[in-house]
Amino acid sequence: MEEIRNRAEQYRRTIESIRSGTPRFAKIFGTENATLVDQDIQREILKQLGLLPPDVAHDIIVFNNSLFGLRIDMRAMATGQMDDMPDAEKAEILEADLKLWEDTLALGRSIVARLQ
């Protein structure tokens, strides 16, 4: 999915637009009501963790917690909850999110490789 959606590049473009003084926040559809979907995904994953090696199970929990944490900020952007924040603060949040996304993506790829 990352190859198709390229979230990292979306983060970079948004950060650049903020820093250039012409902020453009991408509308990320589906994040507005993602909480229930997130809970369902977590519930289904937890049912299967006992079948996995402990290190993989641990990393799946870390991956999901990171991913769902990032979705909180995406949801805040998509619903306008960040509109009144100073641009510098938005950029800082997005830079931290970009770093977390890159780390989460690397962890996810590691998990997939170990499950193959």
- If we measure between CA atoms, which residue out of 5, 28, 18 comes closest to residue 105? 5
Question: With a threshold of 0.85, does the pTM exceed it?
Answer: no
**pLDDT the model gives residue 21:** 86
- If we measure between CA atoms, which residue out of 72, 83, 69, 2 comes closest to residue 31? 72
Number of H helices, E strands in the chain: 5, 0
At residue 4 the predicted structure's pLDDT band, cuts being 50, 70 and 90, is low
Burial tier of 3 (Cβ tally within 10 Å: 0-12, 13-18, 19+): exposed
What are 38-77's pLDDT values in tens digits?
677 777 877 878 888 999 999 999 998 898 888 888 778 7
**pLDDT the model gives residue 114:** 94
**pLDDT the model gives residue 30:** 54
